[in-house]
């Protein structure tokens, strides 16, 4: 009895012999071979159980490298570097490291859902006679995927998508990240355009001085967001998330943005609203941003520089309600200034209008020193989904800084610092703490730096006391001034009233005489 395996082996070797004979035959009788070729192909495909798909490096117009080819190259780079025997190393534009891929004519296998596939890197074209460093123009490279025809469904429906998705992820990981800023271009009239530099900020969540719990919460929020493509699709929401970072200057708002970008490996778009002419330009800038990016608007409360005008108005009308909303600022901006006509509604449209959904995965971060000044419409949940307060340095945050700056994790001086920060409640920003901890000369001891910090904290306490006293004094003076003005006003009004009465009396008397 012949087993199935033996049958396949026999058929395979019979086919191979037939192909060999056919090749010889074709060499001797080239014209006759043309008639037989379709027949042989049909015969061959009936018994050959594999399917092949080729992915050419250049396909279509414009001599652009095919996305599929590049995706496969990235996908295979992770496996080929450990499995293939002959590798090619390439630097590609915008990539931060070498990309290893298998060399021509190499083959590796891959497994997916218990299905085995074979990838081959191939090259076709004329063999050159002369030596040259450059590839021949007629050399064509391609990847060939081979799999059993019983696995057709798995491969076509799921494996190829998996390869493309993984490849894209590896490509994105390998790319050099960029920091974009919008500057008015000289060649484009007043149009503002994105220009970029390589993003190389060293801040990470490890170096960020903040309570561990808060840090972990933000990190898991970011991770959850970046993995929620399908979830956002399911609930019908654009795949974006808004963060509002607020707190006094020097508490690490900008540093946090850099840490977020490094953590998620996103690009950063630093949007300067004051150079944006109008809502149309704002929209255009948004459309030009790429996926996997953080769009940052720093100091949103003073992005549109109108505080001067606001002050004038306040001086004229003292009793005016002190509701300093962005909308008011922007409305005035629209009327008085020619430079920027970005309105609150334009900005809101930018955040959650239809345009914000193009391109996918984006984080929008606003920073401000004065959260109370912002219009509630701007910071409501859904627009700014997560509000993060960046505050003065606590003991836990100090420990992170001491470790980063001085490599000190324990010291007897820590108790005193803890007392000053927690019991005395001295407020010092992480920026100032860091400055005090920074060794000022080569070989300065960690202990010296810690003592300097203790001194600075004590000084800060005195300074804060002085500030409070001054504030009280100033408030008193202001109230006194206000009272005086009110008195003056009342006096003036009484005087006017008296004069009015006098005038009326004279008129009445005059009429009586007539
Ligand atoms: N939480 C922090 N962790 C680590 N370093 C910090 C932190 N806060 C501030 N720093 C240090 O202080 C410097 C200033 O911080 P940063 O620019 O992030 O403050 P900011 O809150 O953005 O201030 P501003 O409101 O003035 O823009 C940074 O270079 C950083 O080294
Ligand atoms: Mg900042």
Among 210, 251, 258, which residue has the most ligand 1 atoms within 8 Å of its CB, making it the best to mutate?
251
Element (H, E) at 387: strand 386-389
Which pLDDT does position 443 carry in this prediction? 83
Nearest CA to ligand 1 atom 27: 249
pLDDT at residue 2, rounded to an integer: 44
Does 200 have pLDDT greater than 60?
yes
Spatial contact of 87 and 102, defined as CB atoms under 8 Å apart? yes
Mean pLDDT for 114-133 is: 72
Ligand 1 binding pocket mutation candidate from 207, 252, 268, 397 (most atoms within 8 A of CB): 252
How remote is the CA of residue 196 from the centroid of ligand 2, in Å? 19
What is the model's pLDDT at position 491?
A: 93
Give the number of the atom of ligand 1 that is nearest the alpha carbon of residue 245.
Answer: 21
- Percent of the chain exceeding pLDDT 70 equals 74
Q: What is the mean pLDDT of residues 18-32?
A: 65
| 454-474 per-position pLDDT tens digit | 999 999 999 999 999 999 999
pLDDT mean over 340-364: 77
Q: Which ligand is nearest to the CA of 369?
A: 1
Which pLDDT does position 434 carry in this prediction? 95
497 versus 95: which is more confidently predicted?
497
Lowest mean pLDDT among 183-187, 379-383, 508-512: 183-187
Is 335 a residue whose pLDDT tops 60?
Answer: no
Rounded Cα–Cα distance for residues 494 and 502 (Å): 12
Question: Between these two residues, 62 and 496, which has the higher pLDDT value?
Answer: 496
Task: Identify the helix (H) or strand (E) that includes residue 416.
Answer: helix 413-418
Residues with CB under 6 A from ligand 1: 207-210, 249-255, 369, 390, 430-431, 434
With contact defined as beta carbons under 8 Å apart, do 263 and 199 qualify? no
Between 304 and 387, the more confident residue is 387
Place of tokens 């980063």: 404
Atom number, ligand 1, closest to the C-alpha of residue 431: 12
**Nearest CA residue ID for atom 13, ligand 1:** 431
Q: What confidence tens digit (pLDDT) does each residue in 88-118 have?
A: 776 666 666 666 677 777 888 888 999 999 9
Asked whether the predicted pLDDT for residue 132 surpasses 90, the reply is no
DSSP 255-310: HHHHHHHHHHT-EEEE--GGG--SHHHHHHHHHTPPSSEEEEE--GGGSS--HHHH
Give me the chain's average pLDDT, please.
81
* Centroid of ligand 1 to alpha carbon of 410 (angstroms): 24
- Angle, CA of 237, 242 and 246, to the nearest 5°: 160
The average pLDDT across 149-164 equals 92
Helix, strand or coil, per DSSP, at residue 252: coil
User: 3-state DSSP call for residue 67?
Assistant: helix
Q: What is the pLDDT of residue 314?
A: 42
Between 110-114, 122-126, 137-141, 337-341, the lowest mean confidence (pLDDT) is in 337-341
Q: Is 213 helix (H, G, I), strand (E, B) or coil?
A: helix
Q: Which ligand is nearest to the CA of 296?
A: 2
Distance of CA 249 from the midpoint of ligand 1 (Å)? 7
Q: How far apart are the first and last CA of the chain?
A: 147
pLDDT tens digit string along 364-401? 999 999 888 888 888 887 788 899 999 999 999 999 99
Nearest CA to ligand 1 atom 6: 252
pLDDT at 98: 66
pLDDT of 305 above 60: no
Q: Return the number of other C-beta atoms located less than 10 Å from residue 133's C-beta.
A: 4
Hey, where are the domains in the chain? 1-48, 52-125+138-175, 178-389, 395-489
What is the distance between the alpha carbons of residues 135 and 90, in angstroms, rounded to a whole number?
14
Q: What is the mean pLDDT of residues 401-416?
A: 93
| ipTM above threshold 0.95 | yes
- Report the atom number in ligand 1 closest to the C-alpha of 434: 11
**Predicted confidence (pLDDT) at residue 8 exceeds the cutoff of 60:** no
Residue 182 and residue 191 in contact, taking contact as beta carbons nearer than 8 Å: no
Residue nearest to atom 16 of ligand 1 (CA): 252
Residue 135, SS3 per DSSP:
coil
Query: Measured between alpha carbons, how far is 144 from 56 in angstroms, rounded to an integer?
Result: 9
Output the CA 311–ligand 1 centroid distance in Å: 29
Better-scored residue on pLDDT, 84 or 307: 84
Alpha-carbon separation of residue 461 from 402, 426, 454 (angstroms): 21, 6, 11
Smallest CA separation from ligand 1 atom 25, residue: 249
Instruction: Classify burial at 115, counting beta carbons within 10 Å of its beta carbon; exposed 0-12, middle 13-18, buried 19 or more.
Output: middle
Summarised one tens digit per residue, pLDDT across range 414-458 is 999 999 999 988 999 999 999 999 998 888 888 999 999 999 999
Say if residue 126's pLDDT is above 80.
no
242 CA → ligand 2 middle, Å: 17
Would strands 362-368 and 240-246 be described as parallel, antiparallel, or unpaired?
A: parallel
Candidate of 250, 298, 427 to mutate for ligand 1, largest count of ligand atoms within 8 Å of Cβ: 250
Q: Report, as an integer, the average pLDDT of 472-498.
A: 94
Query: Is the per-residue pLDDT at 82 higher than 70?
Result: no
- The ligand whose atoms approach the alpha carbon of 405 most closely is 1
- Give yes or no for residue 25 having a pLDDT over 90: no
Check if the beta carbon of residue 301 is closer than 8 Å to that of residue 310.
Answer: no
Nearest CA to ligand 1 atom 7: 252
Instruction: Tell me the residues surrounding ligand 2 (ion) with CB < 5 Å.
Output: 253-254
Written as six digits, the tokens of 459 are: 């000084």
Given this model, what pLDDT does residue 11 score? Answer: 57
DSSP state of 63: T
Q: What is the whole-number distance in angstroms between the Cα of residue 464 and the centre of ligand 1?
A: 21
**pLDDT of res. 302:** 73
Coil, helix or strand for 198?
Answer: strand
User: What whole-number distance in Å separates Cα of residue 299 and Cα of residue 108?
Assistant: 53
Distance between CA atoms of residues 194 and 184, nearest Å: 9
Count CB neighbours of 506 within 10 A: 10
pLDDT, residue 340, reads 63
Ligand 1 centre and the CA of 420: distance in Å?
A: 21
- CATH class of the domain comprising 178-389: alpha beta
Q: How many H-runs (helices) and E-runs (strands) does the chain carry?
A: 17, 13
Pocket test of ligand 1: the residue of 434, 435, 437, 438 to mutate, having most ligand atoms within 8 Å of its CB, is: 434
């Amino acid at each position: 009895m012949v087993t199935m395996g033996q049958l396949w082996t026999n058929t395979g070797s019979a086919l191979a012999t037939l192909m060999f004979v056919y090749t010889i035959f074709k060499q001797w009788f080239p014209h006759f071979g043309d008639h037989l070729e379709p027949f042989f192909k049909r015969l061959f495909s009936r018994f050959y159980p594999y399917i092949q798909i080729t992915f050419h490096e250049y396909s279509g117009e414009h001599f652009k490298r095919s996305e599929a080819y590049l995706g496969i190259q990235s996908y295979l780079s992770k496996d080929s570097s450990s499995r293939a025997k002959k590798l090619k190393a390439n630097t590609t534009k915008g990539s931060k490291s070498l990309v290893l891929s298998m060399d021509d004519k190499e083959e590796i296998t891959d497994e997916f859902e218990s299905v085995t596939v074979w990838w081959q890197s191939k090259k076709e074209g004329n063999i050159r006679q002369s030596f040259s460093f450059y590839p021949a123009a007629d050399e064509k490279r391609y990847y060939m995927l081979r799999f059993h025809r019983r696995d057709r469904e798995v491969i076509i429906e799921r494996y190829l998508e998996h390869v493309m998705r993984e490849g894209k992820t590896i490509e994105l990981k390998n790319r050099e990240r960029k920091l974009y800023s919008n500057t008015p271009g000289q060649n484009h009239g007043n149009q503002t355009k994105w220009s970029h530099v390589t993003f190389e900020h060293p801040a990470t969540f490890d170096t960020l001085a903040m309570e561990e719990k808060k840090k972990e919460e933000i990190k898991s929020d970011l991770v959850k967001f970046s993995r929620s493509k399908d979830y956002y699709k399911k609930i019908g929401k654009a795949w974006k998330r808004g963060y509002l970072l607020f707190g006094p200057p020097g508490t690490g708002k900008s540093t946090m943005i850099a840490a977020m970008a490094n953590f998620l490996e996103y690009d950063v778009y630093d949007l300067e609203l004051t150079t944006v002419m109008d809502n149309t330009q704002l929209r255009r800038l948004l459309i030009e941003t790429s996926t996997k990016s953080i769009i940052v608007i720093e100091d949103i409360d003073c992005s549109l520089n109108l505080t001067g005008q606001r002050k004038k108005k306040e001086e004229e009308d003292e009793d005016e309600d002190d509701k300093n909303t962005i909308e008011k600022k922007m409305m005035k901006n629209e009327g008085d200034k020619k430079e920027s006509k970005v309105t609150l509604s334009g900005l809101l449209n930018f955040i959650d209008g239809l345009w914000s959904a193009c391109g996918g995965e984006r984080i929008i971060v606003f920073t401000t020193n004065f959260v109370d000044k912002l219009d509630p419409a701007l910071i409501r949940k859904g627009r700014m989904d997560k509000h993060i307060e960046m505050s003065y340095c606590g003991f836990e945050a100090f420990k992170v800084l001491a470790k980063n700056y001085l490599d000190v994790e324990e010291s007897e001086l820590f108790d005193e610092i803890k007392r000053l920060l927690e019991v005395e409640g001295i407020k010092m920003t992480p920026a100032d703490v860091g400055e005090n901890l920074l060794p000022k000369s080569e070989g300065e001891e960690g202990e010296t730096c810690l003592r300097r910090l203790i001194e600075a904290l004590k000084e800060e306490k005195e300074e804060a006391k002085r500030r409070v006293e001054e504030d009280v004094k100033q408030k008193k003076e202001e109230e006194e001034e206000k009272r005086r003005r009110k008195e003056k006003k009342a006096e003036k009004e009484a005087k006017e009233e008296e004069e009015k009465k006098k005038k009326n009396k004279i008129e009445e008397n005059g009429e009586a005489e007539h």
